[in-house]
Amino acid sequence: MNTMRIMILGGDGFCGWATALHLSSLGHEITIVDNLSRRRIDHDLGVESLTPIASLEQRVERWYMEMGERIEIVTINVARDIKALHQLISHTNPGAIIHFAQQRAAPFSMKTMRHKMYTIDNNVNATHNVLAILADLKSDTHLIHLGTMGVYGYGSTDGEILPEGYLQVVPTRGPRSDDIFGPPREIRYPTNPGSVYHMTKCLDAEMFAYYAKNDHLRITDLHQGIVWGTMTDPMLMHEELINRFDYDGDYGTVLNRFIVQGAIGYPLTVHGTGGQTRAFIHIRDSVRCIELALENPPQRGERVKIFNQMTETHRVYDLARHCADLTGADMQMVDNPRNEAAANTLNVDNHSFIDLGLKPTLLNDALINEVHDIVDRFKSRIDTTKIPCTSRWVK
Amino acid sequence: MNTMRIMILGGDGFCGWATALHLSSLGHEITIVDNLSRRRIDHDLGVESLTPIASLEQRVERWYMEMGERIEIVTINVARDIKALHQLISHTNPGAIIHFAQQRAAPFSMKTMRHKMYTIDNNVNATHNVLAILADLKSDTHLIHLGTMGVYGYGSTDGEILPEGYLQVVPTRGPRSDDIFGPPREIRYPTNPGSVYHMTKCLDAEMFAYYAKNDHLRITDLHQGIVWGTMTDPMLMHEELINRFDYDGDYGTVLNRFIVQGAIGYPLTVHGTGGQTRAFIHIRDSVRCIELALENPPQRGERVKIFNQMTETHRVYDLARHCADLTGADMQMVDNPRNEAAANTLNVDNHSFIDLGLKPTLLNDALINEVHDIVDRFKSRIDTTKIPCTSRWVK
């Protein structure tokens, strides 16, 4: 595809940094917009990335030295600095904006009342500011947003397949076919968020639909599964390009956490029965999906494009069992901090990315070992007191 | 019913003040929480209420002199002053909170990018702060929110009846009954907001559903039609109790504006074809509905109660014709500033309030004349340059 100026909001984070390097390596001109809030949250929580990450300035300087590509950095709080953000978007007129600028951890969003409020205030205003600015500029810019599979909830127990955003339904007064009383209509798949964080992604969907309708903004919403792995190819060039790796009870995600726990002989903490089935995607496929979304934007006036960005589903217990077997670590069943069903099935339609050419990177021991090696290299940096999830959905 | 402590957020506004007096006259102990933002917006827009409204302090002092009932006033920005709001709710432990503390005008929300951002930031945080505080306190307080019929959109052209919040549907692959592929499920009626203001009420609905599910908060969401009229009985006691009356292009609502225009011989401004059908309710019925909602709260763990708070529907053109005939004023068809269908039908289910005992106050010439008399008394205060709606949905 033609290369273009791409603005990456939240480009210093786990997915954002990987995306910046991937798209820069494809020749796109990248502007990272970030207020370094993720690093500040680490500081507030008293944790650090397992991997020693360089400063954002060092990162892009190193990238320039390795690749000869300049990544621009702009320090803006997307949720607050309206004037600066408007000027930046207006002046650079990017072909695409990729929006990661949100608080992204469900347990963090549920820690206290203040964490709930921060997550809502930050995430809703960040998304809406971008939308209102693009509408003000009558912009053709393609907005790609990182959402979550969690907007659908995890309650599917009847084997139904979660579609890519939309569902056709008929209104009915009862279970019989002659109870139907209106024509079929397409709806956004009903939301059922499992945390305040997940809820913000449902609020985003409502705002996207409105601005696509009223202002004909071009929007793609990626409903992403749990990302695992840590490195993408460009990061292998130099240690200063290394990605962050979260293992703590707030920001660590389930499969990566199991690998960390296995690597240091910490009992693998399975929440509840482990009967939860979740969708997963490797970080390498995540950045590839964003590339594919970039190449296939909706037109002005088209509805929001929604893709399920995941490659496989696994039961949490099975993942823990597998990681425990690989590493010889024990498993420990602990109270589930979340307010959710003890077990669920999950069937996800992900045909859009497959049709566009995604070759799924499925879970395998070589990849698990790759993550394991990273952990092993930096395991002296682990603070085991930060491993348990202390957030509680209902106090 | 038993009287209780009731907190009215936004109790200085048009509906809020009428509600405060109504519930105080029923013997409830009232706390008004308001930051006077509505008066500041008037100032910023360079308009004033048609009626000369007393300060909030004068209002409650006068109410005490007339009725011997104390209404407490607390100056808090519900969207910002988290600590003060938490302390207030925690200390007073109200039986109910009635939430009007939102920017409530669609044209205002669409004036500029900054107005859109203010409306989202203020309205979303106001609602969420209240929810997060009630969850933090594990509160039994009944939260009653003033929403809008506009969450449903106004696109109904097939005669379908808009239900009270929920719709039973079956998923289908096509129009035939054997295209159905899953069991019936209940969904919130799909949203289709017509402005950023209306959208905030859809965002509210998402947050209500979540907090009712996760924290078992007790919530009633009132989907209100366009309120008309101005006075309720308690206000007739003294001029210092008079309600505000908005006639400007941002905050004035359609029927009241027609009466104002007719009273001063200003051509009645019909937007577009006037083929829009809207739901209406008189301010007297509005406060009565809130009383009925108060008496019929959901239990903890119950889903959000949603009532359609309206008594009749009218086509805008017909209302204009009627008011023009009554007053001898002309009509003027002007460009529709909104982005909407030229005409729509609207059928609304409002059985809940009727079943609870609401006796609808339907549109009649005596009531129109009552409003007309108010306008006539204060018409020297009208600034006719403020009558046109200058907001445009799409620039």
The pair of three-digit structure tokens given for residue A103, joined into one six-digit string: 């608080």
Q: How far apart are CA A191 and CA B253, in angstroms?
A: 33
Choose, from B118, B189, B201, B361, the residue flagged as catalytic.
B201
Choose, from A19, A31, A154, A201, the residue flagged as catalytic.
A201
- Cβ <8 Å between A120 and B128: yes
| Chain A environment of B191 (Cβ under 8 Å) | 206, 209
- Cβ <8 Å between B158 and A183: yes
Per-residue pLDDT at A178: 81
Per-residue pLDDT at B181: 86
Q: How far apart are CA A26 and CA A5, in angstroms?
A: 12
Per-residue pLDDT at A320: 96
| Closest chain A C-alpha to B80 CA, distance in angstroms | 10
Residues 6+ apart with CB under 8 A from B269: B257, B261, B332, B334, B387, B388, B389
- Cβ <8 Å between A210 and B196: yes
Phi–psi pair at B288, nearest 5 degrees = -65, -40
Note the pLDDT tens digit of each residue in A359-378. Answer: 999 999 999 999 999 999 99
> Per-residue confidence at B277, pLDDT binned at 50, 70, 90?
very high
Q: How far apart are CA A244 and CA A223, in angstroms?
A: 22
Tell me whether residue B305 is one of the annotated catalytic residues.
Answer: no
Q: Determine contact, residues B245/B232, Cβ cutoff 8 Å.
A: no
Nearest CB partner across the interface for A82, out of B117, B214, B394: B117
pLDDT at B157 over 60: no
Chain A interface mutation, best of B188, B192, B200, B214, highest count of A Cβ atoms under 10 Å: B214
Q: Determine contact, residues B155/B139, Cβ cutoff 8 Å.
A: no
Please report, for residues A372, B85, B123, B215, the alpha-carbon distance to residue B131 in angstroms, rounded to integers and kept in the order given: 42, 11, 13, 9
What integer is the mean pLDDT of B258-286?
95
Tell me whether residue A148 is one of the annotated catalytic residues.
Answer: yes
| Closest chain B C-alpha to A269 CA, distance in angstroms | 23
Note the pLDDT tens digit of each residue in B13-49. Answer: 999 999 999 999 999 999 999 999 999 999 999 999 9
- CA-nearest of A144, A159, A103 to A353 is A144
| Chain B environment of A116 (Cβ under 8 Å) | 128, 132, 135
| Chain A environment of B187 (Cβ under 8 Å) | 169, 187, 190
Q: Determine contact, residues A17/A63, Cβ cutoff 8 Å.
A: no
- CA-nearest of B313, B312, B335, B315 to B323 is B315
Q: What count of other Cβ atoms lies within 10 Å of the Cβ of residue B289?
A: 26
Please report, for residues A5, A178, B287, the alpha-carbon distance to residue B60 in angstroms, rounded to integers and kept in the order given: 58, 57, 18
Q: Determine contact, residues B83/B133, Cβ cutoff 8 Å.
A: no
- CA-nearest of A205, A16, A44, A21 to A101 is A16
Q: How far apart are CA A132 and CA A129, in angstroms?
A: 5
Tell me whether residue B201 is one of the annotated catalytic residues.
Answer: yes
> Per-residue confidence at B154, pLDDT binned at 50, 70, 90?
low
- The radius of gyration of chain A's CA atoms, rounded to the nearest angstrom, is 21
Chain A interface mutation, best of B128, B152, B215, B303, highest count of A Cβ atoms under 10 Å: B128
Please report, for residues B166, B285, B308, the alpha-carbon distance to residue B354 in angstroms, rounded to integers and kept in the order given: 18, 11, 10
Q: How far is residue B208 CA from its own chain's centroid?
A: 17
pLDDT at B175 over 80: no
Q: Determine contact, residues A97/A143, Cβ cutoff 8 Å.
A: yes
Q: How far apart are CA A218 and CA A211, in angstroms?
A: 9
Per-residue pLDDT at B221: 98
Q: How far apart are CA A329 and CA A338, in angstroms?
A: 24
| Chain B environment of A118 (Cβ under 8 Å) | none
- Cβ <8 Å between A125 and B114: no
Q: What count of other Cβ atoms lies within 10 Å of the Cβ of residue B89?
A: 22
> Per-residue confidence at B334, pLDDT binned at 50, 70, 90?
very high
- CA-nearest of A260, A257, A389 to A336 is A389
For B294-315, what is the HEC assignment?
A: HHCCCCCCCCCEEEEECCEEEE
Nearest CB partner across the interface for B394, out of A168, A180, A214: A214
Q: At what angle do helices A113-136 and B113-136 cross, to 10 degrees?
A: 170
| Closest chain B C-alpha to A229 CA, distance in angstroms | 31
The pair of three-digit structure tokens given for residue B15, joined into one six-digit string: 């509906």
Each as own residue / partner, the long-range contacts of residues B257-260 (CB below 8 Å, 24 or more positions apart, any chain) are B257/B387, B258/B319, B258/B320, B258/B323, B258/B324, B259/B323, B259/B368, B259/B371, B259/B372, B259/B375, B260/B50, B260/B375, B260/B379, B260/B382, B260/B387
- Cβ <8 Å between A132 and B138: no
Q: How far apart are CA B88 and CA B39, in angstroms?
A: 23
Number of cross-chain residue pairs from A and B with Cβ atoms under 8 Å apart: 137
What integer is the mean pLDDT of B268-277?
94
The pair of three-digit structure tokens given for residue B381, joined into one six-digit string: 């205060």
Q: How far apart are CA A2 and CA B90, in angstroms?
A: 58
Across chain B, mean pLDDT equals 95
For B53-113, what is the HEC assignment?
A: CCCHHHHHHHHHHHHCCCEEEECCCCCCCHHHHHHHHHHHCCCEEEECCCCCCHHHHCCCH
> Per-residue confidence at B156, pLDDT binned at 50, 70, 90?
low
Q: How far apart are CA A256 and CA A229, in angstroms?
A: 7
Q: How far apart are CA A371 and CA B124, in angstroms?
A: 40
Q: How far apart are CA B135 and CA B145, in angstroms?
A: 16
**Could you give the maximum distance between any two Cα atoms of chain A, in Å?**
69
Residues 6+ apart with CB under 8 A from A239: none
- The H helix count followed by the E strand count for chain A is 12, 16
| Closest chain B C-alpha to A113 CA, distance in angstroms | 6
- Helix ranges (H only) for chain B are 14-25, 37-45, 56-67, 82-92, 106-109, 113-136, 196-215, 254-264, 283-295, 316-327, 351-355, 365-378
Q: How far apart are CA A76 and CA A82, in angstroms?
A: 9
Nearest CB partner across the interface for B120, out of A116, A125, A214: A125
- Cβ <8 Å between A203 and B206: yes
pLDDT at B76 over 80: yes
Low-confidence ranges of chain A (pLDDT < 70): 154-158
Per-residue pLDDT at B17: 98
Residue type, A349: D
The pair of three-digit structure tokens given for residue A60, joined into one six-digit string: 């892009």
What integer is the mean pLDDT of B201-225?
98
> Per-residue confidence at B155, pLDDT binned at 50, 70, 90?
low
> Per-residue confidence at B213, pLDDT binned at 50, 70, 90?
very high
Q: How far apart are CA B75 and CA B84, in angstroms?
A: 9
- Cβ <8 Å between B117 and A124: no
Q: What count of other Cβ atoms lies within 10 Å of the Cβ of residue A376?
A: 13
Per-residue pLDDT at A67: 97
Q: How far apart are CA A120 and CA A126, in angstroms?
A: 10
Per-residue pLDDT at A27: 97
In order of their start, the domains of chain B are 5-386 (3.40.50.720)
pLDDT at B223 over 60: yes
Percentage of chain B beyond pLDDT 70 is 98
What b/e sequence results for A335-359 when a residue is b if at least 16 CB atoms lie within 10 Å of its CB, and e otherwise? Answer: ebbbebbebbebebebebbeeeebe
Q: Which residues pair with A186 in a beta bridge?
A: A168
The pair of three-digit structure tokens given for residue B143, joined into one six-digit string: 């939260």
B143-157, B253-267, B269-283: range with lowest mean pLDDT: B143-157
The pair of three-digit structure tokens given for residue A21, joined into one six-digit string: 């390097």
Q: What count of other Cβ atoms lies within 10 Å of the Cβ of residue B330?
A: 12
Chain B interface mutation, best of A208, A214, A336, A347, highest count of B Cβ atoms under 10 Å: A214
